[in-house]
Amino acid sequence: MGTEETGMRLDRQSLLKLAAVAGGAGLVAGRAGIADAMRAAVWAETGRLQVLDWAGYGNDGGQAMFAQYVQQHPANKPQFTYMTNESDALAKIHAGQKPDIFRPYVGWVKYFATSGLVQPWDPSLIPNFKHLNPFMVKAGQYGGKQYGIPADWGFDAILYRTDKVTPKAKSWGLLFDDRYKGRIAWFDDLEMITIAGLYLGFKDPWNQTSAQLNQSKNFLISKKKNVRLTWSSETNLWEAFGSGDIWIAYAWPNDWVQMKKKKLPVVYMRPKEKPISWVGMFMLLEGSPRTQLAHDYVNAWSSTKSAKWLEDNYGYGEANTVARPSSSDLLHALQLTNPRAVAEPNAHLDRDIPQRALYARYWEEVKAS
């Protein structure tokens, strides 16, 4: 690690050489030449690329997703720290952590774009950008600028064991079903307030009135007795679900894939109130000293090869529309041929919550009660 870092460090002499090369190229070839020289100057960015990402997307199994980047910059492998959700990342960044890239989801685009913490990307530096789903690309924009580069996408829905559970209806209600007391797992996130609102039939679960918020909170508190676990990391869920301690869970498509791998009889149910869909959005931190490397990293994630790998192995969709998974089951389940699979009328695309702090407080109260 140490040698790699020193390998990237520039002395004054080579910096001058680099400037001369860039200048010379400019004289000879004009603007395009400068751009090329700038691209060549990537190695001038020192220090390892710092990525703040979710578990499973770093050196803990997600290596295939950024293999192209590692090939391109063997001396500057990314260094990972992990986030459990966007709030966690927000606290870490405010507390002084300085990642170059991190990955909030689509509901947070507006929040981060207006927070002053991130800067827009330059899509022209991402050759694979042209393959990305235009609907998702648009969802990553704010004020006409590309703050988020869409990557993985999928749904929040319900996973259950068919040998133990008979749902009364295809509904989010299964997460609250009194018949399965002690067998249910929720997700440890303020999104549970939104889901409660969705189930209770509120008009806009992402922007509930204070009466509705209270109703959602009290509803969750009244149903908490049925819940054995609120999971915050997938491994946590897999362990509890895989060992038979949990039969019903709020889950992501990857959890369904993993439980099927364990030969458990499971169904990933699409509730009639519709699942909530999400799109991972790579964001570039304001003041990042490694923007070129960051663009290359995101380009690697956007490649068709990476996208197919993600679909095959994690059961998530990828914004790259050229990629197709090997299994037709998965193709069907994720509706990968439908470019608007994450949008209405198919699913509710996760969105900005204007009163996010209040939602969070209510969710904390649910857990503490």
Partner 1 sequence: MFFVLPIVIVALYSFNVYSLFPGPHGFTFDAWRSFVHNHIYIRLFWKSVKMSLIVSAIIVALAYPLAYYLALSGTKRKYILLLLLIAPFLTSYLLRVLAWKVILGDQGVINSFLFWTGLRSPEHPLSQLLYSRFAVMLVLGYIWLPFVALPIFVSLESLDKRLLEAASDLGASRLRAFWAVTLPLSLPGVIAAFFFVFIPTLGEFVTPSLVGGTTGYMYGNQIVDLFGAGFPDWETGSVLALFLIIVVAVLTIVFSRFLQPQQVATD
Q: Measured from the CB atom, is 203 or 225 closer to partner 1?
A: 225
Size of the site for partner 1 (CB under 8 A): 36
Gap between the Cα atoms of 366 and 369, Å rounded: 5
Rounded distance between C-alpha atoms, residue 146 and residue 283, angstroms: 9
Enumerate residues 111-130 that contact partner 1 by CB under 8 A. 116
- The region that residue 189 occupies, defined by phi over 0 for left and psi between -120 and 50 for alpha, beta otherwise, is beta
The answer to whether 246 touches 185, Cβ cutoff 8 Å, is yes
The one among 239, 267, 289, 305 contacting partner 1 by CB under 8 A? 239
**Of 53, 100, 188, 318, which lies in the binding site for partner 1, with binding defined by CB under 8 A?**
188
Interface characters, 11-40, with partner 1 (x: CB under 8 A): ------------------------------
- Rounded Cα distance between 99 and 330, Å, is 33
* 72: three-class secondary structure by DSSP: helix
369 in contact with partner 1 (CB under 8 A): yes
The kind and range of the H/E element at 211 are: helix 210-223
Give the one residue of 7, 24, 244, 354 binding partner 1; rule: CB under 8 A: 244
Question: Which range binds partner 1 by CB under 8 A, 33-41, 185-193, 277-285, 304-312?
Answer: 185-193
Q: How far is CA 44 from CA 10, 75, 101, in A?
A: 7, 12, 18
Instruction: Give the nearest distance from C-beta 145 to partner 1 in angstroms.
Output: 21
CB burial class (10 A; 0-12, 13-18, 19+) of residue 208? buried
Per-position x/- string for 51-90, each x denoting binding to partner 1 as judged by CB under 8 A, each - no binding: ---------------------------------xx-xx-x
Question: Under the criterion CB under 8 A, does residue 228 sit at the interface with partner 1?
Answer: yes
Place of tokens 């989801």: 105
State whether residue 227 is helix, strand or coil. Answer: strand
Work out which of 227, 266, 293, 298 binds partner 1, going by CB under 8 A. Answer: 227
Burial 180-205 (b: 16+ CB within 10 A, else e): beebbbbbbbbbbbbbbbbbeebeeb
Does the protein bind partner 1 through residue 356 (CB under 8 A)? yes
Binding mask 276-305 for partner 1 (x = CB under 8 A): ------------------------------
Q: Which is nearer to partner 1, 90 or 323 (CB)?
A: 90
190 forms part of the interface with partner 1 (CB under 8 A) = yes
**What are the counts of helices (DSSP H) followed by strands (DSSP E) for the chain?**
14, 14
Options 35-43, 67-75, 91-99, 264-272: segment touching partner 1 (CB under 8 A) = 91-99
Which residue stretch of 49-57, 256-264, 271-279, 353-361 sits at the interface with partner 1 (rule: CB under 8 A)? 353-361
Give dist(CA 228, CA 16) in Å, integer: 62
Reading the block at residue 226, the tokens are 């049925």
Near partner 1 by CB under 8 A: residue from 91, 98, 338, 339: 91
Q: Output the smallest distance, CB 367 to partner 1, in A.
A: 6
Does 357 bind partner 1 (CB under 8 A)? Our answer is yes
Which residues in 92-111 contact partner 1 (CB under 8 A)? Answer: 92, 94-95
- The amino acid occupying position 87 is S
Which two tokens mark 363? 């969710």
The first and second tokens of residue 286, run together, are 């304001």
Which residue's entry shows tokens 């290359």? Answer: 296
Q: Which residues here bind partner 1, judged by CB under 8 A?
A: 84-85, 87-88, 90-92, 94-95, 116, 182, 186, 188, 190, 224, 227-230, 232, 239-240, 243-245, 356-357, 359-361, 363-365, 367-369
